[in-house]
Amino acid sequence: MRHQPVLVEEIIDYLKPRSGEIFIDATFNEGGHSKEIFKKIEPNGKILGIEWDKSVYEKAQKEFSKDLYQSNIIVVNDSYINLAEIAKENKINNVDGILFDLGMSSWHIEESGRGFSFNREEPLDMRYSSKSKITAYDVVNGYSQENLEYIIREYGDERNSRRIAKSIILKREISPIETTKGLTEAIESVVPHKMFGKKIHVATKTFQAIRIEVNQEIENLKKGLKQSIGTLGKGGRLAVISFHSLEDRVVKNQFREWKNEGMCEIVTKKPVKPKKEEVLDNPRSRSALLRVLQKY
């Protein structure tokens, strides 16, 4: 299943890529956004793509080593927390635009086999990179009830966090929870029946929370954003697509801090959301929020 990038038209409208410009795609994935940006900056523009997941990176390398992109799109296997150093190593500075798309790819859900989806019976891993220190198994079977409740509440915005955390503890006392099915059963057993049949599955928020914890997504976002502002050139634009209220708050607060320091103008006074047509075509885009700034 090919990943469908979100807010593509809006990204082009706000980043305003032009022939010969230089961009960084900090969350390259399968290069969906970069392909559209490249159409505007070719033949002499350049894109530096950063992809943390080695499997996704290898797929991207194969795709973007073709003659059309070979000397114009560079893809590296690294994390955007190292964005400034990666740019320096590739002799890229004063870039015209940087994009962060914080959404999880369709490949991770459908094909990775790492336990991102409650719809599949898979081992509890949830790492984007094998270099990550902990797995979902470690979180589910090793964290205290208080820590589990905290991450499920804070990262998942889950009102049943206490019940779910307690259920996980009780289930793992009998035997370790090793798969997505076991975790889903622990969640479903304590969620009120009135919550079933809603738009999103009752396990969605807990799975999201554990994934965020495993990959340290909030802390990494803070680090990545701070790496990006110095890499932008004067007039350069930074665009961030988030899918979670906590992520969006981090972006909003960092943009506001830079604005107050006189470093940038905030281009989007409110977050930009997908059009109804896009949500109908790609339901996973429904929670996407885009914020953009322009560096002074």
43-57 pLDDT, tens digit per residue, is: 999 999 999 999 999
Q: What is the mean pLDDT of the chain?
A: 94
Residue 36 has pLDDT above 70, yes or no: yes
**Where in the chain are all domains bearing CATH 1.10.150.170?**
133-214
CA angle 176, 181, 182 (to 5 degrees): 25
Sheet holding 22-25, edge to edge: 73-77, 46-51, 22-25, 95-101, 232-242, 289-295, 264-266
- Between CA 172 and CA 62 the distance in angstroms is 42
Q: Which residues pair with 295 in a beta bridge?
A: 264
- Between CA 173 and CA 63 the distance in angstroms is 47
Q: Report the half-sphere exposure of 228 (CA within 13 A, side-chain side).
A: 35
Pick among 2.40.70.10, 3.40.50.970, 1.10.150.170, 1.20.1260.10: CATH of 133-214? 1.10.150.170
Q: Report the half-sphere exposure of 80 (CA within 13 A, side-chain side).
A: 32
| Across 160-167, average pLDDT | 97
**Where in the chain are all domains bearing CATH 3.40.50.150?**
8-107+217-295
Residue-wise pLDDT tens digits, 198-253? 678 899 999 999 999 999 999 999 999 999 999 999 999 999 999 999 999 999 99
Please report the pLDDT score of residue 283 as a whole number: 87
| Across 170-178, average pLDDT | 97
Q: Which CATH superfamily is domain 8-107+217-295 in?
A: Vaccinia Virus protein VP39 (3.40.50.150)
> Is 22 exposed, middle or buried, given 0-12, 13-18 or 19+ CB atoms closer than 10 A?
buried
> Is 92 exposed, middle or buried, given 0-12, 13-18 or 19+ CB atoms closer than 10 A?
middle
Task: Compute CA 104 distance to the chain's CA centroid, rounded to the nearest angstrom.
Answer: 5
